[in-house]
Amino acid sequence: MIAARVLAMVDERQGYVERNGIDPGFAYPDANWSLGSQNAFAALFARVARCDQEVIGQLRAFTQVFTGHLLYEVRRGAPILESVAPYTDEVVADALAQRNGPYIEAWQRLTANLPLRYLVNPPARFGEIGHDVGGIIVNHDTFAYQERVNLLVESGVVALLDRLVIERGEIKILEIGAGWGGLASWVKRAFPSCSYTIVDLPECLLFSGLYLGLTQPALSLGWGCDPVPFGFRFVPNYAADALQEPFDLIINTLSMSEMSEVQVRHYAALLKAHWLALDGLFFEQNQDNRHLGFIRARDILAKELPGQKSLTLPSHELQKGMATLWSLRSADPSQAAIGEPITEMQNETYDLFLTHAWRYHEDWTRFGDMLDRVPDLSWRNFSVPWYDPAVDPNTEAGGRFIRQWLESQIAPVAAVIFLDGVYATKSARKWLDLELEIARARSIPVIGLAPVGQTEISNEARALVDVAVGWDPGQILAAVDKLQAAKT
């Protein structure tokens, strides 16, 4: 079905372009994917479109074209595969033993102290190979995508999205040129409440469609511009002009660097006209490909988008190109729309987790409203009472997913706010007990609050918390400071 949809999109391209007067320079692929010649990329598409057992079983071996990395040989370079037959277990194990070490080391440096939620964790499907490090398959691509995720975390984009999830329930993300979907896969798992759109050459939507559709089968897939709430929507690049809606985050990595100037300008115009909401962000990481006769996307974007901030990572030199966060706001990068690095914010920001049982409880909402009204207070709510409805918490895998999801919300915080009003509901207790267990295992202080409208916390709750305080921001923050100081 996925291949059939993609093949139809490829077939419809010429008619669509002609009927709608789309600039052919924008609609038809450039660089690696340019049509006309019997090039290896076109051959790869034809090979994968057969969707036979070998392709589906080992799809990841056929994704070298997006990463420049031959997964089963653990090295850079061609060829574009026709078959994986030569790669026996021994051949792959030998290549890993010889050449995977540097990727593991680089990955370990990037992930030291990162909460679980921020770890790129490729599913053990489609012939993914690498070293198992603490349950994560680590290879060149795991490292490469981790670099992108670290940039999103460090730049404050992830925190911003978390806030938007709380405020709106649904967030909208667009990726231009998603390759086989490696980054999309992480984003969708980290933000189950995002609706994820991919604009790509239809040939490449085959790869991302197969990978994302088959690794996250419970999610809805859509082909074309109709909305797919909380699912994946695949839009062929030639129909990009028909996508006229704002997104909270737009992503482009290692993709504009292989486009023509006409194509990048066209995307910049779409960003300005429709895709970048006034408070939206465009995260872009691309190589400078001028030495190969291509462009440096940043030069073109800088002329079009007023707000820009270069991103870096502490003690890590970026391997996959210069990274920039763009916005429609002022050119002054200190403006608030462009996230401040989390490391700079840590000393002055209160990171809190409010106990929840996967519903927006009145006390939960009130607490947020109360702190939001305190002038000059910087605080972040790490509690997201929402998970992917496709996950069944009663299965072993579902239970594990939910525990990890909670751990990733609780691990980074300075304190857990224990809402007795939520605890009063019997069915909520198993979740609050689990949240407490996670907090205790990490020595995170727990501060109790009575139900709204009551002055006293219940005896049961009092026995569970470190301290009980009133609904008063001053008292609450003083308790956080005190308990934190006692920890150190």
Residue among 44 and 415 whose Cβ is closer to ligand SAM: 44
Q: Which two three-digit tokens encode residue 292?
A: 């190969």
Q: Of residues 204, 417, 419, 477, which one binds ligand SAM by CB under 6 A? A: 204
Residue 209 makes contact with ligand SAM by CB under 6 A: no
N residues, the chain: 488
What residues numbered 44-73 form the site for ligand SAM, per CB under 6 A?
A: 66-67
CA distance 445 to 462: 13
Among residues 205, 200, 233, 208, which one has the least CA distance to residue 219? 233
Greatest CA separation found in the chain?
76
**CA–CA distances in Å: residue 47 to residues 50, 59, 278:** 6, 11, 42
Compute the least distance from the CB of residue 468 to ligand SAM, in Å.
49
Q: Of residues 178, 337, 439, 457, which one binds ligand SAM by CB under 6 A? A: 178
Helix (H) or strand (E) holding 131: strand 131-133
Residue among 255 and 324 whose Cβ is closer to ligand SAM: 255
Q: Of residues 122, 177, 280, 385, which one binds ligand SAM by CB under 6 A? A: 177
CB distance 386 to 161 below 8 Å: no
CB distance 398 to 392 below 8 Å: yes
Burial class (CB in 10 A: 0-12, 13-18, 19+), 71: buried
Residue 197 makes contact with ligand SAM by CB under 6 A: no
Q: Which two three-digit tokens encode residue 193?
A: 């409440």
Residue 199 makes contact with ligand SAM by CB under 6 A: yes
Q: Coil, helix or strand for 140?
A: helix
Q: Which two three-digit tokens encode residue 139?
A: 């290879």
Q: Of residues 176, 187, 235, 406, which one binds ligand SAM by CB under 6 A? A: 176
Compute the least distance from the CB of residue 197 to ligand SAM, in Å.
12
Compute the least distance from the CB of residue 216 to ligand SAM, in Å.
18
In this chain, which stretch among 131-139, 196-204, 338-346, 453-461 interacts with ligand SAM, using CB under 6 A? Answer: 196-204
Among residues 194, 163, 117, 157, which one has the least CA distance to residue 368? 163
The dihedral formed by the CA atoms of 216, 218, 223 and 227, expressed in degrees to the nearest 10: -110
Residue among 240 and 417 whose Cβ is closer to ligand SAM: 240
Residue 147 makes contact with ligand SAM by CB under 6 A: no
In this chain, which stretch among 89-97, 173-181, 433-441, 442-450 interacts with ligand SAM, using CB under 6 A? Answer: 173-181
* Number of Cβ within a 10 Å radius of residue 204: 26
CB distance 362 to 179 below 8 Å: no
Q: Of residues 22, 29, 357, 411, which one binds ligand SAM by CB under 6 A? A: 29
Burial class (CB in 10 A: 0-12, 13-18, 19+), 67: buried
What's the distance, Cα to Cα, between the start and end of the chain in Å? 57
Residue among 181 and 385 whose Cβ is closer to ligand SAM: 181
CA distance 289 to 398: 43
In this chain, which stretch among 47-55, 171-179, 186-194, 227-235 interacts with ligand SAM, using CB under 6 A? Answer: 171-179
Residue among 235 and 469 whose Cβ is closer to ligand SAM: 235
Residue among 48 and 178 whose Cβ is closer to ligand SAM: 178
CA distance 165 to 177: 24
Residue among 318 and 391 whose Cβ is closer to ligand SAM: 318
Residue 128 makes contact with ligand SAM by CB under 6 A: no
Residue 409 makes contact with ligand SAM by CB under 6 A: no
CA distance 165 to 410: 16
CB distance 335 to 307 below 8 Å: yes
Residue among 197 and 263 whose Cβ is closer to ligand SAM: 263
Tracing tokens 């939520």 back to the chain, one arrives at 422
Compute the least distance from the CB of residue 256 to ligand SAM, in Å.
8
Q: Of residues 263, 287, 289, 327, which one binds ligand SAM by CB under 6 A? A: 263
Residue 254 makes contact with ligand SAM by CB under 6 A: yes
Residue 258 makes contact with ligand SAM by CB under 6 A: yes
Q: Of residues 121, 150, 255, 287, which one binds ligand SAM by CB under 6 A? A: 255
Residue 381 makes contact with ligand SAM by CB under 6 A: no
Q: Of residues 156, 179, 385, 451, which one binds ligand SAM by CB under 6 A? A: 179
Q: Which two three-digit tokens encode residue 391?
A: 């996950």
In this chain, which stretch among 51-59, 250-258, 357-365, 429-437 interacts with ligand SAM, using CB under 6 A? Answer: 250-258
CB distance 60 to 78 below 8 Å: no
DSSP E strands in 143-220: the ranges are: 171-176, 194-200
Residue 253 makes contact with ligand SAM by CB under 6 A: yes
Q: Which residues bind ligand SAM (CB under 6 A)?
A: 29, 33, 66-67, 176-179, 182, 199-201, 204, 237, 253-255, 258-259, 263
